[in-house]
Structure 1
Amino acid sequence: MIGKLDLYKVFWTVGKCKSFSKAARELYLTQPAISQAIMQLENELDIRLFNRSPKGVSLTSEGQLLFEYVHSAINLIDVGEEKILEFKNLTAGELKVGVGDTISRHFLLPFLEIFHNEYPNIRIKIVNGTTLELVAHLKSGEIDIAICNFPLDDPTLELRPCIEIHDIFVCGEKYKPLLSKPIDLNELTKLPLIFLEHKSNSRKYVEDYMASKGIKISPEFELGSHDLLLEFAKINLGIACVTKEFSYEYLQKGVVNEIQLIEEIPKRSVGVCYLKSVPLSPASTRFVEIIENYIKK
């Protein structure tokens, strides 16, 4: 059975060609099939669309009115198909990435630069947030992919780890005596601690690990920025729990110092995640490929 859209395409072609036989050749159909399709559409609309004569066909007044709308609709479909082709060829479209400030600065920026240089016509939208906020954005469709801290326990998400990271404690000049020997996590809790806010996935990971050892923390400061953790430790306000890989600049300059632990906190990772149930757009697929290809080198 011919679908409604196909009927309108036949109608549009006949109206354009002003001939059933020419329309049949253009659509690779038989002339009886064309005639049947027009009759079906006229019956469904309960109106005559064409005047028939031995010289051919012409649109009735009602047919001419309908033809203008169908002509516009088919043109829009053609434009839509062209746009889809542009998206597939990455000559148009949008890449929507969710990421936190710290990961954006210390991990994501080089990949954004590579992608933008390769595909300058793709718009890039960055949405900032914590890991849990980014997961919510994924599920609402506000972003295509998220670059965030793992682990994540959510069966609806595809998780693709990219780099390993390590949680460490650092201090400023005042607490340098702590560097003389490895220290137990229990001893650290007796000192003023500086942690990220509760809603941070990084904070939760370290806090859960310490809780598994029977250690409860009560931070002196809870901050919303990784850079602030380092700055607070730098001016001796306490011992900050930071990500080693995102603190190299401070560590190399010696403005903060890593405290050696008797038992190191297990490593975790930063990676890409997206919904399993939603296919990635061509732009998102290519962006993930850029990241993973670089990581493999």
Structure 2
Amino acid sequence: MDYRLQVFVTAANRLSFTKAASELYITQPAVSKHIQELEDSYKIKLFDRKGSKISLTQAGEILLKHSRNIFEIYRTIDFDMSILTKERQGSLRLGASTTISQYVISPLLADFHSKLKDIKVNLRNGNTEHIENALINKEIEVGIVEGQSKNPSIKYTAFLKDEIVLVCRTNHPLARKRNISITELETLKFLTREVGSGTLEVIEHSLKKENISLNKLTIEMQLGSTESIKSYLSSSDCVAFMSIHAVNKELKNNELMIIDVDNLAIERYFYIITLQGSQNALTALFIKNLIKHYNLKL
């Protein structure tokens, strides 16, 4: 039954029997067989099938919720029992928003692995909205995100300070000025991240305090990753607000430059997120190491 539930959860997460089979290293007919056996056992359909596409039924949604809870308990049992033998084994599912996963968290994960080699860490990358949803759906145990949103079911702990700066290529016409007034922002062409991005949310919040609406800015393009924005900037006259962590290398290599905006400072914190009232021993250990790595006092 446990393995059938594992197959079911994988298929439910992927919404594809073929992708579930690939992830579990079994055949697609084997996935179908396990799902069929579950449906026969509960006497109800778990998936609606329309050609090659599948979606969860109401029964499937209920089983997915309970299955996630079951596997969360198993992970907690595995880690708690390993502590008794001083082995500290287990698996941790971590989520990080794009800026953090690409530019901040790698040294931390390397440090964590060097201390606890038997803890397997699975890192999920996505924008802040995706990571928060993954936490609420119990697809991860802990996340690190950017942004201003506050979901009441999530505990937010300020973790690391960040600054968002306005950048452009070094041979941009603005390069001679080095700083501009806040009203000049409306004369520029911008690249931004997609809706749901924590960085975009913080920018919009900060500009609003200065009576500037994001809608008043000329947005040439919305792009789905920080790397694509940097690449676009290198061959265009656009500008972009970006995390200082994301452009450190380009600033050092003189590929991008910062344009100061008078009377505008966009600062934020990255946040550690866990579900309210829910933190197992492994999650607590990871957070403790994260705090120690950055010499923080939370």
- Structure 2 Cα separation of the partners of residues 181 and 165 of structure 1: 21
Residue 140 of structure 1 is matched in structure 2 by: 137
Q: What secondary structure does 2:262 align onto?
A: coil
The count of residues paired between Structure 1 and Structure 2 equals 217
* TM-score, normalised relative to structure 2: 0.67
- Residues 1:107 and 1:81: Cα distance change in structure 2 (over 3 Å): closer
Q: Please point out which of 97, 107, 112 is paired with 2:109.
A: 112
Aligned to 1:85: 81
CA deviations over 1:98-119 (Å, ceiling 9, x no partner): 0133311211111111221222
Q: For 1:219, what is the secondary structure of its paired residue?
A: strand
What is the distance in 1 between the residues matched to 2:77 and 2:157? 32
Q: Which structure is larger by alpha-carbon Rg, 1 or 2?
A: 1
Q: Which residue of 2 aligns with 1:290?
A: 289
Partner amino acid, structure 1, of 2:274: Y
Q: Is the 8 A contact 2:164 2:241 kept in 1?
A: yes
Structure 1 pair 102/201, CA: closer, same or farther in 2 (3 Å)?
closer
Q: Give 2:155's match in structure 1, choosing from 158, 165, 169.
A: 158
Partner of 2:242: 242
Equivalent-residue separation in structure 1 for 2:289 and 2:175 (angstroms) = 42
The aligned amino acid for 1:198 is V
Name 2:268's counterpart in structure 1. Answer: 268
Alignment deviations for residues 171-206 of structure 1 (CA, whole Å, 9 cap, x no partner): 114424454252123212211111111221110211
- Give the match for residue 32 of structure 1: none
Instruction: Report the alpha carbon displacement of residue 132 of structure 1 after superposing the two structures with TM.
Output: 1.1
The one-letter code of the counterpart of 1:268 is R
1:229 offset after TM fit, Å?
Answer: 1.7
Q: Any conservation in 2 of the 1:168–1:258 contact (CA below 8 Å)?
A: yes
Distance in 1, Cα, partners of 2:178 & 2:153:
44
How far apart in 2 are the matches of 1:112 and 1:287?
A: 10
Matching residue's letter, 1:111: L
Preserved contact between residue 182 and residue 264 of structure 2 (Cα < 8 Å):
no
Secondary structure in 1 matching 2:179: coil
C-alpha distance in structure 1 between counterparts of 2:98 and 2:267, whole Å: 21
Letter in 1 for 2:161: E
Which deviations, in whole Å up to 9, do the C-alpha atoms of 1:12-54 show, x marking residues without a partner?
A: xxxxxxxxxxxxxxxxxxxxxxxxxxxxxxxxxxxxxxxxxxx
Specify whether residues 82 and 169 from structure 1 end up closer, same or farther in structure 2 by C-alpha distance, changes over 3 A only.
closer
CA deviations on 1:192-226 (whole Å, 9 max, x unpaired) are 11111122111021123223333232310111111
Deviations 1:123-153 (A, max 9, x none): 2111121111111111111100001104332
Distance in 1 of aligned mates of 2:164 and 2:196: 17
Structure with bigger strand share is 2
The 5 Å alignment of 1:63-212 reads 84-86=80-82, 89=86, 91-212=88-209
Q: Partner of 1:68 in structure 2?
A: none
Which residue identity is paired with 2:286?
Answer: F
* Cα contact 1:232–1:240 (8 A) shared by 2: no
Letter of the 2:288 counterpart: E
Q: Which runs of 5+ in 2 are unaligned?
A: 1-75
Segments of 4+ in structure 1 off by > 6 A? Answer: 80-83
Asked if the contact 2:178/2:258 (under 8 Å) is kept, the reply is: no
Instruction: Give, in angstroms, the shift of residue 120 of structure 1.
Output: 1.6
| Change in 2 beyond 3 A, CA 1:81/1:243 | closer
Structure 1 residues 99 and 82: CA distance shift in structure 2, 3 A: closer
Matched with 2:224 is 224
Is the aligned partner of 1:233 residue 2:230? no
Question: What one-letter code is carried by the residue in structure 2 that aligns with 1:259?
Answer: I
Q: How does 1:16-31 map to 2 (within 5 A)?
A: none
Distance in structure 1 (CA, Å) of the matches to 2:187 and 2:79: 61
The residue identity in structure 2 corresponding to 1:230 is K
Residues 90, 237 of structure 1: alpha-carbon distance in 2 compared, 3 angstrom cutoff: farther
Calculate the TM-score normalised by the size of structure 1.
0.67
**Mean alpha-carbon deviation: is it higher for 144-153 or for 169-178?**
169-178
The one-letter code of the counterpart of 1:285 is: A
Structure 2 CA distance for aligned equivalents of residues 189 and 261 of structure 1:
12
CA RMSD of the aligned region, Å? 2.2
Partners in 2 of 1:90 and 1:137 — Cα distance? Answer: 29
Contact 1:156 1:277 in 2 (8 A): no
Structure 1 Cα separation of the partners of residues 247 and 230 of structure 2: 8
